[in-house]
Amino acid sequence: MSDVNQEAIHTPWWSDIVMYWLEDQIAVTFQSNISLSQGTDAVLKSLRLNDLKQFLKVRGFGLKPFDAQYAVQNSSSVSMPSKPSGYHSKTNGSADSSQDDLNTLFGKYLFASAVGQGTTVVGYFQVEATEQWDESNGATAAPPMPALGEKESGTITQQTINLLNHNLDLLREDVGVPIHSAMANWFCGSSCFTHGGPATPPFSVPEDDTCAADPGNWHISLPELTSSPLGNQSGKGVTVFVLDTMPSATDDADGVVQAIQSAATKAGEHNHLLNTIATQMNREQEPYIKFHYTQLAPFFSTMASDQMVTGRDLHGKKHAFHMEDHGLFITGIIRDLAPEANIEHVRVLNDFGVGDCCTLIYALESIHGRMSEIDPATGKQGDLYQKPVVINLSLVTTPADEELVRYWFQDSKNGYNPLDHLRAADDLKLLRAPLHRIIQELSANGAVIVGAAGNDSFTPYIPMRIGPRYPAAFPEVISVAAVDKNGDMASYSNYPQVSSQHNGIATYGGNLPRVSDIKQDNVDAVIGVYSATTYPALEAKNPVLPDMAAPNNNGWAYWSGTSFAAPIISAVAARVLETLQGVPARHVASEVQWALTTAAGQQAVLGTALGTQPGFAVSMLKAEQCQPTSATPAGATPAVAGVAKQ
């Protein structure tokens, strides 16, 4: 919530500690051979969680149910049709509901497996150090104890996860636990500081700027699709999910409606797109835009004592700022380019653009259930079964490979050698495998997933261009890089794909403006809707500069980042899905990816092969926005919020 009176963050950018995961929490993925149709009790029993607990106990680690303090709640006045089982249900009804019971639905996320008749389960647990098992203490017989060699290194979280991932075969074959992999509860990001975030803070479009061809709009055009079969498509019948931040004037579901309606009323004829969003908000008539406000865990609260934040300033320095309109900005881009698609905007990140993998999987579980023949939450056919779905993920989670090796293995004493590339590659895959498994399940159900490649390149911390961040780097995801208005690689944008994959594409995301560019109203950035009454400072200073009141009420902002290139591709994916007929669900996602990222697919579906962005070595979809015409007198300085006085 951007409020002028809200307490500012006073930690200077250079002293922040970057955090990548929540300590003392782990996520374990299981592959049960029990179908969800047999009931959740049967599925959870098949996981043999008490045997897993005993396996860890004899090795000095305690496994506990997920703590209630990490619960999130869907407080939306428009609740998700499929009520997720994880955080909402502390027990599964018949199971023991004691605090030590591992067999509860609390912190468990269930996905009917597309690869067989079983169920994929992601379970979140607390871990702690304990005394190792001793025969003299009267404990029950322990599972087989292999020669473990040196103790795993790192924190309790790292030790537990490495122990599990390095003994998967033992756990499956000798202990009988159907484990797939384990990972940390990674932070997601678009005092404590997390990774990710947009390339720049948002800043106001000057009040006098207008698009002469269409006053009150800043429409994005796709010139290469004008004569394409997709040129007249609008995304009708497609549901696009935006998992992101969400505006709120009061930190609750009613506040979302209040914030958007208030901004739309103030903007009036100056912002037709924002008024369209307000008109379509939470209605049943299609096309609609439904807002699902999730009450996040307390430590993600804007007013928490240790605020979880992310972001960068114009110079690439760490810069915590309010970005609750990040998701609304994305929603506006999709509505502009897919005017008849249904949009469901789900809050998974806090007002500073930070969340965790548990909350993300919480939302993905609901979408998966709604796309399933039988939604586990209702026992009925999912309302999105065999219907076209796009999921926009303008967020990143887990450190980049370049950082993960350093942070996860830096203190390794268990025989890991940085030169042992095979072992390192296997460990890195396992540390992301639970999330990857969920992405695969959704893709197999027909969901087209679009992800932002990330904005980490050429910062003071990573002085080079790096590969895509996850989840965009998963091969099932269409990964989107950003270019500037000339079609050149945006300086901050990561590469959209690794060399062994062909899931990348580039489109307009704007570039990094200089302070002088902003003052002269010569900005290369995407223009989109903005509802907050304040704008953040554009530069990280000590002491911290306060948020500044918006210089006008037009509800338009400049913003740059791969976060805003991704929804352009999501909207085009919705257009492709509108025309796709007779394709089995398991092939839908790959068909759309083929249509957007390969010359053959583009020729067949778009009617034309896109050009190549040579630096990224991927196809580039041209996206153009009306150039501002300003009534500001020559030589005058337009009003700009958040620029430090020189």
Whether omega for the bond prior to residue 468 falls within 30 degrees of 0, making it cis, is no
Q: Which of 304, 296, 342 is nearest to 320 (CA)?
A: 304
CB atoms within 10 A of CB 517: 15
397 burial (CB, 10 Å; 0-12 / 13-18 / 19+) is buried
CB of 202 closer than 8 Å to CB of 642 = no
Strand partners, 393: 451
Q: Which of 565, 491, 549 is nearest to 204 (CA)?
A: 549
Q: How far apart are CA 644 and CA 538, in angstroms?
A: 7
Least confident segment among 230-239, 406-415, 580-589: 406-415
Instruction: Kindly state the helix (H) or strand (E) to which residue 612 belongs, with its residue range.
Output: strand 611-613
Domain 195-399+433-625: CATH architecture, name and number where available: 3-Layer(aba) Sandwich (3.40)
Helices (H) and strands (E) in the chain — how many of each?
14, 28
Q: Find the mean pLDDT for residues 582-610.
A: 95
Q: How far apart are CA 508 and CA 568, in angstroms?
A: 8
Phi, then psi, of 467 in degrees rounded to 5: -75, 180
237 versus 99: which is more confidently predicted? 237
Residue 636: pLDDT band by 50, 70, 90 thresholds? very low
Q: How far apart are CA 125 and CA 429, in angstroms?
A: 20
Q: Which of 16, 13, 189 is nearest to 561 (CA)?
A: 189
Q: How far apart are CA 240 and CA 391, in angstroms?
A: 6
Q: Where in the chain is the domain with CATH 3.40.50.200?
A: 195-399+433-625
Q: Find the mean pLDDT for residues 266-274.
A: 97
**Model pLDDT for residues 387-427, shown as the tens digit of each residue:** 999 999 999 998 888 788 877 876 554 445 555 667 778 88
Q: Which of 299, 314, 311, 246 is nearest to 277 (CA)?
A: 246
132 versus 60: which is more confidently predicted? 60
Q: Give the model's pLDDT for residue 519.
A: 87
CB of 160 closer than 8 Å to CB of 32 = no
Instruction: Kindly state the helix (H) or strand (E) to which residue 127 belongs, with its residue range.
Output: strand 119-129
- Tokens matching residue 594: 């083929």
**3-state secondary structure (DSSP) of residue 595:** helix
Give CA angle at 305 (182, 263), nearest 5°: 95
Q: Find the mean pLDDT for residues 467-472.
A: 95
Give the distance between the most distant pair of CA atoms in the chain: 87
Question: Which residue type occupies 379?
Answer: G
226 Cβ partners below 8 Å, 6+ apart? none
Q: Find the mean pLDDT for residues 464-474.
A: 94
**Model pLDDT for residues 486-512, shown as the tens digit of each residue:** 999 999 999 999 888 889 999 999 999
Q: Give the model's pLDDT for residue 77.
A: 46
Give all strands (DSSP E) within 286-418, no chain letters: 289-292, 294-295, 308-309, 342-347, 354-356, 389-393, 396-397
Q: How far apart are CA 601 and CA 401, in angstroms?
A: 30
546 Cβ partners below 8 Å, 6+ apart? 8, 537
Residue 580: pLDDT band by 50, 70, 90 thresholds? very high
Instruction: Kindly state the helix (H) or strand (E) to which residue 110 belongs, with its residue range.
Output: strand 108-112
**Model pLDDT for residues 315-370, shown as the tens digit of each residue:** 777 787 889 999 999 999 999 999 999 999 999 999 989 889 999 999 999 999 99
Whether omega for the bond prior to residue 471 falls within 30 degrees of 0, making it cis, is yes
**3-state secondary structure (DSSP) of residue 556:** strand
- Tokens matching residue 460: 């003071």
**3-state secondary structure (DSSP) of residue 119:** strand
Q: For 234, what's the count of Cα atoms within 13 Å in the CB-facing half-sphere? A: 10
Q: Give the model's pLDDT for residue 321.
A: 84
Q: Give the model's pLDDT for residue 3.
A: 39
222 Cβ partners below 8 Å, 6+ apart? 337, 568, 572, 621, 622, 623, 624
- Tokens matching residue 269: 């004829």
- Tokens matching residue 293: 């406000």
Q: Give the model's pLDDT for residue 408.
A: 84
Residue 544: pLDDT band by 50, 70, 90 thresholds? confident
**3-state secondary structure (DSSP) of residue 64:** strand
pLDDT of 91 strictly over 90 = no
CB atoms within 10 A of CB 475: 17
CA dihedral 219, 222, 226, 230 (to 10 degrees): -100
